[in-house]
Structure 1
């Protein structure tokens, strides 16, 4: 099994197979427009621009599961991301990324790369952990998504190679992205 086995819905409601990204390095992110981590969209777009010619594709999946930080509808989310952060990578239909209703893609991603903890050197880590412990203590158990802007790096063959939590800045992934891009595209 790989990420290519999953189908997702576009913001416009069309069903698309992730197989269309076969041979690319993917950066899959759960996003929200009203989150303290929303400015990460700017660096995600920078990575997309820097490495798209070499085969990087950022894919955003909005979710409203974390403190209601994604109140917008699908069209509004796409517009917000484009107008405020210049986002031109795909922003898919809003989904659940954890618990019972989690989209199967995110259940798969978290099964492939377990939770390894927040970067406690990040300026908001202590506050984030405090919010989760206070309001959503069950979020911290297991390997499920803990908050918005959890990022998964996928190689050209659809294997999930790394997980970065909300407190990891997108540019921290650049070396690993370049390493994956340097690997030859698989022969079909």
Structure 2
């Protein structure tokens, strides 16, 4: 399944931005916990130590009971617990980023958001500004970029993110080498 999904993503991403939903699904399936960790988590669930809450959980503090109460539209009933571990991966958002670099670039219009992700021009991954222009020397790569891909290796191959990082490094080094040559002249 992972091979098929990665192949489909490669075909779809050829020169166009990848659908953010497909991007998150790929990352989840290809980059999740190891099979050993999944087996451990299933064992904890069977033992009643871990409870899966379902999609879109709503969590409220029940002060009278000294516990948390969780409900979900996809799981009947509610779950009460004295301890809560929040382990969801939040949806991406440039607007809500806490990274000072991204916050500053976004505030100045030097980058923009597409479906929560940093907008980049493919295939060279230059940042796209609020006006739609691209910056000559600003690049972004990774799962939080439009058309970004997970960094985890699929079965039997080199991770697509590593191949893209290598290509981007060559682009940046070529630019830097050119400026060093001009500065030395």
TM-score by length of 2: 0.25
Greater RCO structure (CA 8 Å; 6+ sep): 1
Larger radius of gyration: 2
TM-score by length of 1: 0.25
